[in-house]
Amino acid sequence: MRFRDNLATKRALIEICEERLALSASLAADVLMELSPWGEIETDLVAPPTPIEADTAAASTQNGVDLDSGNLTDPGQAYDLFSQAEALRTTDNTLTGAGQTIAVIDSGIAWDHTSLGTTLGSGFGPGYRVVGGWDFAENDADPYDDGPAGYHGTHVASIIAGQSESFVGVTPEADIVALRVFDDAGYGQLQWIESALQWVHENQDSFESPITTVNLSVGAALSEANRAQAMDMLEDELALLREDNILVFAAAGNFFESGGSSFDELLYPASSSSVIPVSSIGDDGTLSSFAQRSDGILAANGETIEAAVPDHVFGWDGKVDDLAILSGTSMATPQVAATSMLIRQTLINEGVEPTIDAVLDRLESITQSHIDSTTGLSYSTIDLSLLSTKLPDTDLGPTDGVTEVPMSTFIGTDESDYIQLDLRDGKTLRVGDQVYSLEADAVSSTIVIDVRGGGDSIHIEGSSDSERLILQAQTDGVSRLITGDIEIELRGFEQITFVGGGGFDRASLTDSNGDDTLTSEPSRATLHGVGYKFEVFDVNQIYVTATNGGNDTAFLSDGPGDDVLAVRPQFSSIRGDTTFQLASGFERVYAFAAAGGFDSIEINDSEGDDTLNVTAGRTTFVGPGYHVSANGFESTTANSTLGGNDTAKIYSNGSTAGWQSTPDRVQWNGAEGEVRIARGFERVEAFEDFEPVSLPMQIGTQSINPIPISSADDRDDLTWLGMNPEDEARATRKIFESLGE
């Protein structure tokens, strides 16, 4: 579905196929494109195998969603929030979303669908799953997901709180209010969105359970011409809901693969600072090809999600029990919104006030960071197994204040503990509302924190002194924090977060025996694998080793200054002005230089056969057991000295390139001081405009097409011989014959 908001009109009417503003409840086809005012919309519709009436089929094609009534293949457990939420309920059956209401602002909800029933059955009003709402399109109190265009809101609602024989929503006992902002034909008005947000504010306490969350699987692709006016309509309401302690989640959009104007452009209101945007991943945890990117964005599985649709979608049969498979950031958003409700419930169980900051902090603590290999931007996925579900039943000590007698050993329980260790003013340990004072053993100068079983996490605030952190991911490994003369042993933690306090800190992280992923940038790194996650912030020197097995991947990013990426097989580092990042033992390394400065790469080969490729935007270096890809660096220097049959390919920026060549070196010099150098390689190929070229050999006081030398160091590599032109040409041919040219 494609809509427009004609902001030149008085009511901001949303109509179809207007190129300035696309507002859609069906983001699976919401592609930001340069359209003629009445241009055709391409879709990737998969028609359902059962017959659909002509008007419904047309509406579905217009919406452009992947609509299939077949069975859903179970997605990967590692990123499947449905399965994770189900597993969470087996350990704490209170985590169901009960006691909270979520507002679904969408195309309405088929409230009589069997998957949206309670003990009273399916219906609308108090006691039912859909407890209330409003239809802003028809201005009445029946926000039903009518045909021919409706279905999207029903699908979203059942992802949140649906229950059927084949699927269960993330929060199956949460209440829902349906706020309909699209009419039967799929048209909407931005003004209706504004009214719906105002309605949430005015009615947040009108139901048995308060409204805590809003799901907006809708969005607008704004142009500069209408951005200000659209934001003027909604920003006040979005900010007001945040003040109300109501979290708003919005879909990021699905026009990435269309090559929109900016790969990190989000739909509005996902781009609002008052909203949590959500992108989509597939079963393997990589961002969906259609999903919008933004640095640090949350993402959940939005591909081939099976959930409820109204009866009219596949043809009326009188049984409102149909399910369909849809894909899009629209499907990912309600999963994350529902997850926030579980976190809010967890905090309440722990006796912690569930403020927005508290919910988002806990949400961040159960995420794993990744790097999108296409853009170099980071994104986070959720691991509900890391969620601390409740305070342990065991008495942990006093109920008010700090323990009177400092302890050198803290023993946790077999439950999932969430612990905070604060070293900024003394050494205090907090578990829920319990606070303990720690003091090192007089003999060993050691403090032990042992949490035993469960999915345990610790958040450490470092002191202003220099500290050393050693984190071990092996199941039998013990992590250590050295502060001053004291060593703190950390035993049994699945997740460890350390925030430096201002000293010159150093962190050493070691992988597991499985497949591990490192995401690192100046002063910050995340290492995670199956069952664990380590995070360090504000740390000057970071050393990460991956030698315990598995197929390990590292993503390294530069800082704003001049950085140097040093590469040799399974050993890569980035050095900045005051920071250092090292990734050792990783089979694949992806480095990104996008923060500014003049950044360079220094490469040394292995004893095997290595291959170097250098272009304007990317350098790759591949050999036995390793692969390095570097994007955005200005200069590259590679040395082949250890043996093997090594090959280098250097691509210039154009025919005006400045080339130099000697018996053991080929070099390209750019106009901005950048260089691309290959030394000692058995075979070197040069390209201009991606076409191979033969290079002159600079061997005397003059050369064929003489090229300026960029530095005295380069001059030292030349052999200055007084040859005549014929001798020079003969020597040049001989050199390039040996290179295979």
Q: Kindly state whether residues 140 and 288 are assigned to the same domain.
A: yes
Q: Kindly state whether residues 178 and 258 are assigned to the same domain.
A: yes
The DSSP result for 645-691, as a single string, is: --EEEEE-SSTT-EEEEETTEEEEE-TTS-EEEEES-SEEEEEETTE
| pLDDT value for 555 | 94
Q: Which amino acid is at 703?
A: S
User: Does 128 have pLDDT greater than 60?
Assistant: yes
Q: Which of 225, 192, 254, 228 is nearest to 63 (CA)?
A: 254
- Of residues 252 and 17, more confidence is placed in 252
CA dihedral 424, 427, 432, 435 (to 10 degrees): -120
> pLDDT band at 118, cuts 50/70/90?
confident
> pLDDT band at 117, cuts 50/70/90?
confident
618: alpha, beta or left? (left if phi > 0; alpha if psi -120 to 50): beta
User: Does 196 have pLDDT greater than 90?
Assistant: yes
Q: Compute the distance between CA of residue 24 and CA of residue 222 in angstroms, rounded to an integer.
A: 12
Q: Is 543 helix (H, G, I), strand (E, B) or coil?
A: strand
Strand partners, 648: 612, 684
The answer to whether residue 264 is domain-embedded is yes
Neighbours of 405 (CB within 10 A): 7
- For the domain that residue 295 is a member of, what is the CATH number? 3.40.50.200
What percent of the chain clears pLDDT 90, i.e. is strictly above it?
A: 54
Q: Which of 46-55, 205-214, 359-368, 707-716 has the lowest mean pLDDT?
A: 46-55
User: Does 315 have pLDDT greater than 90?
Assistant: no
Q: Kindly state whether residues 150 and 277 are assigned to the same domain.
A: yes
Q: Compute the distance between CA of residue 302 and CA of residue 297 in angstroms, rounded to an integer.
A: 14
Catalytic residue chosen out of the listed positions 66, 106, 505, 714 = 106
> pLDDT band at 74, cuts 50/70/90?
very low
Q: Kindly state whether residues 94 and 121 are assigned to the same domain.
A: yes
The answer to whether residue 694 is domain-embedded is no
| pLDDT value for 97 | 96
Q: What is the pLDDT of residues 464-491, one digit of tens each?
A: 999 999 999 876 678 999 998 899 999 9
Q: Kindly state whether residues 470 and 518 are assigned to the same domain.
A: yes
Strand partners, 173: none
Q: Kindly state whether residues 219 and 261 are assigned to the same domain.
A: yes
The answer to whether residue 574 is domain-embedded is no
152 is an active site residue? yes
User: Does 701 have pLDDT greater than 50?
Assistant: no
Q: Which of 147-151, 430-434, 568-572, 604-608 has the lowest mean pLDDT?
A: 430-434
Q: Compute the distance between CA of residue 322 and CA of residue 500 in angstroms, rounded to an integer.
A: 53
Catalytic residue chosen out of the listed positions 152, 155, 312, 459 = 152
H/E stretch holding 228: helix 224-243
User: Does 81 have pLDDT greater than 50?
Assistant: yes
Query: What is the extent of the structural domain holding 371?
Result: 79-303+331-386
Q: What is the pLDDT of residues 385-439, one digit of tens each?
A: 888 543 333 333 444 444 445 788 998 877 778 899 999 888 899 987 788 988 8
249: alpha, beta or left? (left if phi > 0; alpha if psi -120 to 50): beta
Catalytic residue chosen out of the listed positions 330, 479, 572, 640 = 330
Residues with Cβ within 8 Å of residue 492, at least 6 apart in sequence: 412, 450, 451, 452, 453, 456
Q: Kindly state whether residues 119 and 159 are assigned to the same domain.
A: yes
Q: Kindly state whether residues 129 and 181 are assigned to the same domain.
A: yes
Sole residue written with tokens 């036995």 = 624
The answer to whether residue 354 is domain-embedded is yes
> pLDDT band at 574, cuts 50/70/90?
very high
| pLDDT value for 290 | 93
Q: Which of 277, 233, 230, 264 is nearest to 20 (CA)?
A: 230
* Number of domains, the chain: 2
Question: Of 524, 548, 572, which residue constitutes the final position of a domain?
Answer: 548
Q: Kindly state whether residues 133 and 173 are assigned to the same domain.
A: yes
The answer to whether residue 310 is domain-embedded is no
388 is an active site residue? no
User: Does 255 have pLDDT greater than 70?
Assistant: yes
| pLDDT value for 696 | 64
Q: Kindly state whether residues 375 and 409 are assigned to the same domain.
A: no
Mean pLDDT of the chain: 80
The answer to whether residue 404 is domain-embedded is yes
The answer to whether residue 154 is domain-embedded is yes
How large is the average pLDDT for residues 619-644?
93
Q: Is 183 helix (H, G, I), strand (E, B) or coil?
A: coil
Q: Kindly state whether residues 382 and 491 are assigned to the same domain.
A: no
Question: Of 498, 524, 548, which residue constitutes the final position of a domain?
Answer: 548
How large is the average pLDDT for residues 690-709?
50
Q: Compute the distance between CA of residue 673 and CA of residue 298 in angstroms, rounded to an integer.
A: 39
Say what angle helices 81-91 and 329-349 make with each other, to 10 degrees: 20
Q: Kindly state whether residues 355 and 398 are assigned to the same domain.
A: no
What percent of the chain clears pLDDT 70, i.e. is strictly above it?
A: 79
Q: Compute the distance between CA of residue 185 and CA of residue 182 in angstroms, rounded to an integer.
A: 8
113 is an active site residue? no
The answer to whether residue 105 is domain-embedded is yes
